[in-house]
Amino acid sequence: MESGFYRPELDAALSPRPVTGGGTLATTDWRQQLPMLTSSGVILRELELGDAPSLLAMLTTEEVTRFISPPPTTIEGFERFIRWTHQQRAAGRCMVFGVVPKGMSTAIGLFQVKALDPGFSTAEWGFALGSPFWGTGLFVEGARLVLDFAFEALRVHRLEARAVVQNGRGNGALRKLGAVREGMLRGSFLRNGEYHDQALWSILQTDWRRAKTGSRPEMGVTIH
């Protein structure tokens, strides 16, 4: 899945103030700090500077980076990315949740939701997860938390996603979640000097609520 990482040219947008960890602070305004979303096997929370080494190890392997924008290549680069996510959240443009499996303390992946209009009625999401956790059910569990939060707490009407056509795992994951493939965006993704086609997927708030009708209780989101 395409996920927008920090770029060096964004340095000018970073303020010099220090960034502290996320934790369990409860808030009704996600612009002040992201809430913690939990389910039986995963916690989604604000990224912390201490996540940088784990994210570097998990999100820079060939399997993970093949179909996403190039991630930072150093711990310092991920620390800059984390600071950038905090500023984007404070500005109300974007939120990035770190994926922390139950029993662990650092993030091994992330989910990003960014506004495509000022009212956040239309948004785009992306994700990246360390390959040791592929096929464990962790992605689906975390994705359901994100979708619940987007549609029920943020009142997003339409959530879009883009995935490189050759990315069978990413496209399959979106289909499994009930997303609808609307078309193909030709030559829309540049990777290593080569343009790739992307599939455009969408989920509407009404789609998600309809799909949840027969869902198990643990599919819901718990916000702290």
Tokens of 94: 């974007």
Average per-residue pLDDT in the chain? 85
The pTM of this model reads: 0.83
| Cα 28 from Cα 82, distance rounded (Å) | 22
What pLDDT shows up at residue 160? Answer: 97
Mean pLDDT of 93-113: 97
| Cα 48 from Cα 4, distance rounded (Å) | 17
CA 170 remoteness from chain centre:
13
What's the CATH number for 33-213?
3.40.630.30
Give me the sign of the Cα torsion angle 170, 172, 177, 179. positive
DSSP annotation string for 21-89: --TT---S-TTTSPPPEE-SSEEEEE--GGGHHHHHHHHSSHHHHTTSPPPPSSHHHHHHHHHHHHHHH
More confident residue, 134 or 23: 134
Provide the residue ranges of all domains of the chain, joining segments of one domain with +. Answer: 33-213
